[in-house]
Amino acid sequence: MKWFLGLIGAVAAAALGLWAYGAFGTKKVVIAAPERREAVRAVYATGTVKAEQIAHIRPEVGGQVMQLPVKEGEEIREGMLVIQIAEKEQNAAVAEQASRVREASMSVEDAQQNYDRETQLLAQGAATQQAVDNAKATLDRASAFLATVRATLATRRTLSGRGKVVSPISGVVTKVAVHAGDIIPPNMEAVTILDPTSFKVYAGIDELDITRIRPGQEAVIAFDAMPRMRFKARVERIVPQADDVTKTLPVILNLMDMVPNLSDGLTATVNIVQERTPNALTIPVAALLNHKGTNDTLFVVTDNNTLQRRAVKVGVRGEDYVEIVDGLRDEERVALNPDPSWSSGATVEIDRVRMHGKR
């Protein structure tokens, strides 16, 4: 479980805390001054950009590619021609199958006549029951074969005219796997089209945090390809199926801001906002002794450079900064990286590192 403390306001005034000893044994300490900012508690996760509208063009008929008027990276509108397959072979297959149907129909007629004849002869005592049964079996086989070839003909007639494929969506062509003149088999993926307006961010939320997530929650998203930029999003829906290995659940977020040059597959850092505290009093996490719970301890450095152990109440807690709800004033200073062995009243020497003009 990770928490993120969003920072809206001034850049943090902090420094790495350290202890050393001066010439006379006086402890040296780095200090930081509290800062006012908006503190944001959020559930942190990593995610991936995915397009929810992707068309994989797979012509149902095989044959030679006669037209391929699209190129990778080009925009395409719904209904525009994507690929044209020559239908000469398909038309020939339909004609051949129709011929088989005619032949099978003739066989059924012959078998029916033979069966009728044998039945009449049996009634006259001029044929055996075995002859009638054999004629019936022949008729049944011929009828079954006729049904099969008729079904095949219907399928091939359905495919007739399927060599011309148009785009089912508007978007951008992201992949062209064939060339004009190629002979391709049926159902081969020839062209891929993606609708960039359907981009969503799919984030994997830890099972320990998923109960905190609900549709409509605000989120802040950063992309590895644009590390200095932040974009607004909202939780759209939660997929109730945890990954067996990572124990995370997919959460789909809808981007509220226009993101330049967004692409399918980009990696994103997602922070789903749980709580906002405007004008919060914050200090570096490095100033706390325990780093957990709502109650903690820190050391204030007084005006006469002595340590004062102080119990404080903690609010929003982040990875770098933490909100102090009670126990500290804006004008006070805190020592970084405190040690449990420190005691109130000890005199310290403040390190001469200046942070934004504050000691």
Per-residue DSSP letter, 285: G
Question: Edge to edge, what strands does the sheet with 81-85 contain?
Answer: 164-166, 81-85, 63-67, 183-184
Res 99: pLDDT: 86
Series of mean pLDDT values for 10-residue runs along the chain (359 residues): 41 37 64 88 92 93 89 95 80 77 90 91 88 91 91 72 87 95 92 95 95 94 91 95 94 93 93 89 90 84 93 84 92 92 90 46
- Which pLDDT score, from 0 to 100, does residue 88 have? 62
Q: Cα 160 to the chain's mean position, in Å? A: 38
Amino acid at 205: I
Report which of 220, 208, 206, 214 is spatially closest to residue 38, judged by C-alpha positions.
220
Q: What pLDDT was estimated at residue 63?
A: 84
Residue 123 parent element (H or E): helix 88-124
Give CA–CA dist 138/247, Å, rounded: 62
* pLDDT score, position 199: 96
Identity of the residue numbered 86: A
pTM beyond 0.75: the answer is: no
| Residue count of the chain | 359
HSE-up of residue 137 (Cα within 13 Å, Cβ side)? 6
Task: Confirm if 257 and 225 have CB atoms less than 8 A apart.
Answer: no
Pick from 286, 293, 315: which is nearest to 5 by CA? Answer: 315
The pLDDT assigned to 177 comes to: 96
CB of 80 closer than 8 Å to CB of 167:
yes
Reduced to 3 states, what is the DSSP secondary structure of residue 37? strand
pLDDT of residue 87: 67
Q: How far is CA 50 from CA 54, 218, 241, in A?
A: 10, 19, 18
